[in-house]
A and B are shown apart, each in its own frame.
Chain A
Amino acid sequence: MRIRIDHTTRYDYARAARSIIQVLRLTPRSCEGQQVRDWRIETDVDTRLRRSEDAFGNIVHTLYTERPTNILTIRVSGEVSTVDTGGVVRGQTEKLSELVYLRETPLTRADAALNAYAHAIGDGRTLDRLHALMAAIHRDVAFQVGATSAAHSAAEAFTQRRGVCQDHAQIFISCARRLGVPARYVSGHLSRLDGLYEQEAAHAWAEAYVEGLGWVGFDPANGISPTEHYVRVAIGLDALGASPIRGTSYGGGDEHLSVALHVRPVQQQRQQQHQTRAGGL
């Protein structure tokens, strides 16, 4: 299917910021499951954007403002054609050994409770255990906006048994690593089936490495593996590493952040899109 994304992030500064620097991971790469057709980043003030690629393979833009700024708006828009790959990531160059994704980070460090939870998953094939883990998290950790913040770790969210997609994904990652399975965080977008095109925040899920299959996606917040409704944007060891924007201002004081996000299918062209993909393989 073809998905259109309009993602606007606005920063209001308490005082005019002399300069602002931000690291953006807002640009998806094409792989077998998704073809990026058109993508742009625009800002409402004069900025310089330097494009690079990080060690994880993400497309990174470093943004610098050119003069004092009270309000900075970053608008990302584009279209991505997707196909269902059964959750398996293919056609993506992996720059790092999967062993790197066994690393624990402050946000994904398993405490005793998480460790026990992970090990309560029954024996079996890795893929089955990961599905069982996803189902368990989907069942045990309630989806609730406002119960956690971006700074909450997997262990903290798990203690409350509540959180948003970031927390579900990080709990999954934390447990998978404890089971000896490399796992990573994915930030991206979900075109919702319920027709709710206006969303409050971007989506996030996890990927785990299964011997013989490669990287497989798991979305424990929804209890399914990613489908053609998902657009992968960035990966990292945790939410911080994959976060869409990390930045700071000089002299701006407190900042207020607001996000407007529209993700919707471009339906009339769906058939044609499938043909394009097939032709491209």
Chain B
Amino acid sequence: MTEDIRRQAGELEAAVLVVLWAADRPLTPPEVQAALTEPLARTTVATTLARLHAKGTLDRVRAGRAYAYSPAVEDRAALAAQRMHTELDKGDDRQGVLARFVSRLSSADEIVLRELLEQAAEPGERS
């Protein structure tokens, strides 16, 4: 039970971070709340944002009467990301360590995929 609650709290923090990374500017708690796919209480969102800020995961700036939040990025983080990619692409090890969401596409794959995407984008979802 506590395991379940902890997992849910973790997933909520992750969802908030996703929203802030996807946005191109700092967001206020109501904006974050609106961008989340799951309906959540405003106070829950505000508490999560404050907690992530306290941990140093988020930066915040004053926006009128509220705060607007954005992901905190260390200067060296971008460099580290680059280094990680080269590490990950090294050798055969990665297959056992990580499962990548999408593998690389051939040019033929790309054509097929665009056709399939048109099918998937057709109206009539959730019939």
Question: Does B bind A?
Answer: no
Interface residues of chain A, those whose CB is within 8 Å of chain B, are: none
B residues touching A (Cβ–Cβ < 8 Å)? none
